[in-house]
Amino acid sequence: MIDWIGLQNFHFIRPAYLLLFLILIFLYLALRQRDNSLHFWQQVMSIEVLDQLTIKGSNYQWFSPSKVMPIVGSIAIIVAAGPSFTQVPSPFNEDKAGLVIALDVSETMQQSDLAPTRLLRAKQKVNDLLTLRGDSNTALIAYAGSAHIVMPLTNDGNMIRQFIKPLSPAMMPRAGKIPDNILPLTEDILNPTGVPGTLLLLTDGSSSEAQQNFQAFFQQQQHQLVIWAIGDDKVKAKPGSNFLPLQLNSLQQLASASNGRLVRFTHNKDDIETVNNYIENNLVVVNDGTRPWLDAGYPLVFLIAFSYVFWFRRGWTLQW
């Protein structure tokens, strides 16, 4: 699977080698001019006379050294420039980087557009994410009108599974939906680790006041925000019903204001993999000069080596 998220950090470790493309272009044009057997005569004869003395035909070869050379040269230059989009992983950062899961346990999460309820489906998604992440450090916060740390950072996913199972709106001391309350708790959990972490917010809506507070918080922190929109935006409220649709627009605005990312709920595991990729790539996005970048050009060396096989063909070098 291609890591499309990591590709946003693509760059060349040694970009000065890209100037070799100028030499490659010069060599290619020189070879083409040499292959033009009429080039010398065009300087001393008129086009009309030369046309009468020339036997029509073509010695064009679609597969020849002159055609392979610029391709192999381009690959070699790219390898020399050192393409990279991933830093060398730091075992210390991986052990310390934390994920805070903030689960909305308000009354709106009891809506049934995702059967049986949004809250139950959100819990299932969290369990699948914990399975995918293994023993990574994870904390759990539950919020409605107030926010509470259910489980501090732990690498025991089974503990979080046990504590998330009984969460319901009836357990929350204050009704409502105020996601702002999770921000100081997130700071208390992630800041002591000393490395950037992730706040994963599973909810079905937000407010303009939360947007302002989240924007101010993430402007001061290196942590990232990932919003997991729990609900089906295709289901609309019918006249006279008590159904509260998914507030997708407000969640998109919250993610944009916080320089975060929004992941929409899917019935398969695509959203789980997307969330996990965002979490794993958080440390790469942060400018960490202590970790060198991995040179991703080495696999292309095999393509260059394979091209040399053609030079063992009989008559190959005569086809220029």
pLDDT tens, position by position, 178-196: 999 999 999 999 999 888 8
- CA-based nearest residue to 111, from 311, 265, 285: 265
pTM above 0.85, yes or no: no
Separation CA 12–CA 81 (nearest Å): 6
Exposure string (b/e) for 61-98, b if CB count within 10 Å is 16 or more? eeebbeeebeebbebbbbbebbbbbbbeeeeebeebbb
292 vs 107: CA distance, rounded Å:
48
From 6, 11, 16, select the one nearest 80 (Cα to Cα): 16
**Other CB atoms within 10 A of residue 266 CB:** 12
Nearest Cα residue to 306 out of 31, 68, 23, 18: 68
Q: Which DSSP category does 228 fall into?
A: E
Q: Vertex 81, ends 78 and 84: CA angle to 5°?
A: 90
The per-residue pLDDT of the chain, averaged, comes to 85
Q: Chain-centre distance of CA 103, in angstroms? A: 24
pLDDT band at 90 (very low <50, low <70, confident <90, very high): low
Query: Which residues on adjacent β-strands are paired with residue 201?
Result: 102, 227
pLDDT category at 287 given cuts 50, 70, 90 is very low
The size of the chain, in residues, is 320
DSSP string, 166-210: T--GGG-SS-S--GGGHHHHHHHHHGGG-S--EEEEEES---HHH
Three-state secondary structure call for residue 140 = strand
Q: Pick the more confident residue, 185 or 222.
A: 185
- Give the tens place of pLDDT for each residue, 7-33: 667 889 899 999 999 999 998 888 777
Q: Which two tokens stand for residue 156?
A: 């025991």
How confident is residue 285, by pLDDT bands cut at 50, 70 and 90?
Answer: very low
State the Cα–Cα distance between residues 122 and 166, nearest whole angstrom.
Answer: 13
The predicted pLDDT at position 272 comes to 96
Q: Which of 185, 97, 188 is nearest to 136 (CA)?
A: 97
Across 71-80, 253-262, 291-300, 308-317, least confident range = 308-317
Q: Which amino acid is at 235?
A: V
**Is residue 1 over pLDDT 50?**
no
pLDDT bin (cut points 50, 70, 90) of residue 228 is: very high
Check pLDDT > 90 for residue 40.
no
Residue with tokens 């994410």: 129
Distance of alpha carbon 232 from alpha carbon 113, whole angstroms: 6
Q: Considering the chain, what percentage of its residues have pLDDT values greater than 70?
A: 82
User: What average pLDDT does the segment 245-266 reach?
Assistant: 94
**Distance (Å) of CA 33 to CA 23, 39, 55, 62:** 15, 7, 19, 17
Residue 44, SS3 per DSSP: coil
User: Which one-letter DSSP state was computed for residue 287?
Assistant: -
Q: How far apart are CA 65 and CA 68, in angstroms?
A: 5
Which is more confidently placed, 292 or 264? Answer: 264
In a 13 Å sphere around the CA of 65, the CA atoms on its Cβ side amount to 16
Contact between 199 and 100 (Cβ < 8 Å) = yes
